[in-house]
Structure 1
Amino acid sequence: MRIAMIGTGYVGLVSGACFADLGHDVVCVDIDPRKIEKLERGEIPIYEPGLEEIVSRNVTAGRLSFTTEVSEGVPGADAVFIAVGTPPRPDDGHADLRFVHAAAEGVAAAMTGYTVIVDKSTVPVGTAREVSQIVARTRDASEYDVVSNPEFLREGAAIEDFLKPDRVVVGCRTEKAAAIMQGVYKPLTDQGVPLLITDPESAELIKYAANAFLAVKIGFINEIADVCERTGADVRQVAKGIGMDTRIGPKFLMPGPGYGGSCFPKDTLELVATARKSGAPSRIVEAVVESNDNRKRSMADRVADAMGAPVDGARIAVLGLTFKAETDDMRESPAIDIVAALQDKGANVVVHDPKGMEAAKPFIRDVDWAENAYAALDSADAAVIVTEWSEYRMMDLERVKGLLSKPVLVDLRNLFDPADMKDRGFVYSSVGRPAE
């Protein structure tokens, strides 16, 4: 099938490359000529394991191409996916749909023959109706259908998530559109991947409800970790014990400094805003949003507690800046708030991240940028692990201890064993685990 992907951001580029890998003919469209020029040179604008290889393979095979012109990518396409940004509006938290609306106008002007227009971006309930109304200004209803097809991609594991998903959700109103979408995903459904067909509104809400529920699990285990610290319980054992319950499951029960990234913060805010607007406020999600915001900045207090002294004037090494490992995404990363809170307390901060240094610079200022973890640790009064990169887990701990001016390590990702760290002579602070 012939597919056009409008937008070559995280979702668009990963989805377009994976559709091509499934055998479809895919054209990715983006209005940014610099981004398209880089992609045509084989340069990938984001870090995602496996993405460079899959893009290269399909460009070479002639199944994947790039253009800045909607008029080149859309004509003749069976399905046109809109995968543009939907950032939250600062005034009310609702998703900003300007880019979605503009893309819909461009698609309507360029399409030839019957076309399925697919909302791949994360969009509020009712967006499919809005897009349909935009297209209807210039096209007859017989020429198109608008479908909702939310993505469920984890950064750092997006290729696997796309090619081996738990499910594919398609929201549509006609059998004709459903047939096209079944054809698009046939290579996956032939392998046993479930395809759930719903109405568009339900598909749109499934995306927000899923992410909000996962955010609730993260917020819950973080609060349980705080209880563990005050009662002597071990959050590892508690998480394992509740995760063995099949009604709960073990995933997203890892305590830490709070959730971040491109999905959970934005999607929980949108669900809160939608729920309020509909007259059915989501008090649970509202509480999780507030709890998570407070948690990120409160992590700086752990450093002072571990040091047993104010951090004013201290040199603090922050290891890990991206919101999670295996990505260079800095959006809503806990590190942004943690660094700011440490600086507010008067600390001098030195930072390192394996992949996110350049991406972090617009968000984190007035810090020293270290070329590697050991350089960041050199002469620091304390170290804070914010992101669970494997290279931090594999550090030579004797070398770490020798570099620090004081052997204080605040581990917000529980990478090390408290008893072992005590034996090594560290003042070691972790999350939800009793001090040894």
Structure 2
Amino acid sequence: MQQVPGTDRAETERLRERIATVLERARRRTVGLTECLDEAELVAQHSRIMSPLVWDLAHIGNQEELWLVRDVGGREAVRSDIDELYDAFKHARVDRPALPLLDPAQARVYVGTVREKVWDVLERTPLRGEGLLRDGFAFGMIAQHEQQHDETMLATHQLRTGDAVLAAPATPVVRTPVGGEVVIPAGEFTMGTDTDPWALDNERPAHPVHVPGFAIDAAPVTNEQFLAFLTDGGYDRPELWSESGWAHRQEAGLVAPQFWEQDGGGRWWRRVFGVMQPLRPQQPVVHVCWFEAEAYANWSGKRLPTEAEWEKAARHDPVSGRTRRFPWGDADPSELTANLGQRHLEPADAGAYPAGASPAGVHQLIGDVWEWTASGFDPYPGFHAFPYREYSEVFYGGDYRVLRGGSFGADEVACRGTFRNWDHPIRRQIFAGFRLARDLRSDEH
């Protein structure tokens, strides 16, 4: 291990400990999401839009090997013969079950062998260089990658049929539900980041953005609110939908959020990882696509916030004028500020995390549900792809819509005030909901 004198050495060791912590946390989650199922369930494709869980497992190990063992560590390959099998750009998800994949036992041995080599690489890496080595970026990138696939695997668990295999404590009890909206005055704020060492390329660079004044909902749209749209015929009124949205609603047969079911008595239920639960009125609606969110916004007379509006509401402190890491400040998330990390298996009711509210009084911007925005996925001014084009650049443009804020299934290492997620507007398997915004009236400026 390279020796660094004084304070620099102590800081390097603290960084090394943090890296070990986030890598271990991600791996515990990966193990928990795969050890609970038998081999047949791991190799099955539970949805055509998702990979078999065993593919995700070995892909996690392969990316860790490519970047940390071979690139950062300069070590010999563990399994170079499987690189193409686990290249996400070589094979569509629907085709992956037919590939000669590692079986569950082989995949576990493989990811375990890779991780043992990574511990040795971490011990010997100075973490003080540039590029991939700067502030341990490569290790942070891989921890984020594993957690992102863990959230994808969690979504696959929600799509599978059969008995429940996952469990978690109930979400906090809400004594004072949150509603209404908050006015965010016009002005400039700093969007994106140059200072977060593990921020990914699409979050960079920091740049000033002037945002006109707007109002934004204090909480995400709830099941109760969305049910009102549904019962008012929202799914049967083409005037509420865009042309492409209405075409998709008809083709896909959308009649309610995914996993909602109505019994013979007219009562609505929601399937949550194999368990049928009565619809919770104050819980943020989840598993809705962008087109459904857009139609609801039209029905309500509002709109989806832009990405810049969302980030300003989440990060800008109107009193000090500074831009924070999170709505509540610069401290890492905790169980008091946000519903993250699969601590619970569903969103918490509106108002469950008052300590996580922004200075302006906007709640649950981090965690619970990814929030659809009105914005397409495009680069920031001055964008530079790093460390490879396929993370962000190849996805810019097209029909992608940006989601912000993370979900109950996102880990804090892969969720921050600047973090950008994106998906096609038809996607519902992700843990996505939304909140609304509107332009200010003349008397509100």
TM range (shorter): under 0.3
The structure with more radius of gyration: 1
Higher helix share: 1
TM-score (norm 1): 0.23
TM-score (norm 2): 0.23
Higher RCO, 1 or 2 (CA under 8 Å, sep at least 6)?
Answer: 2
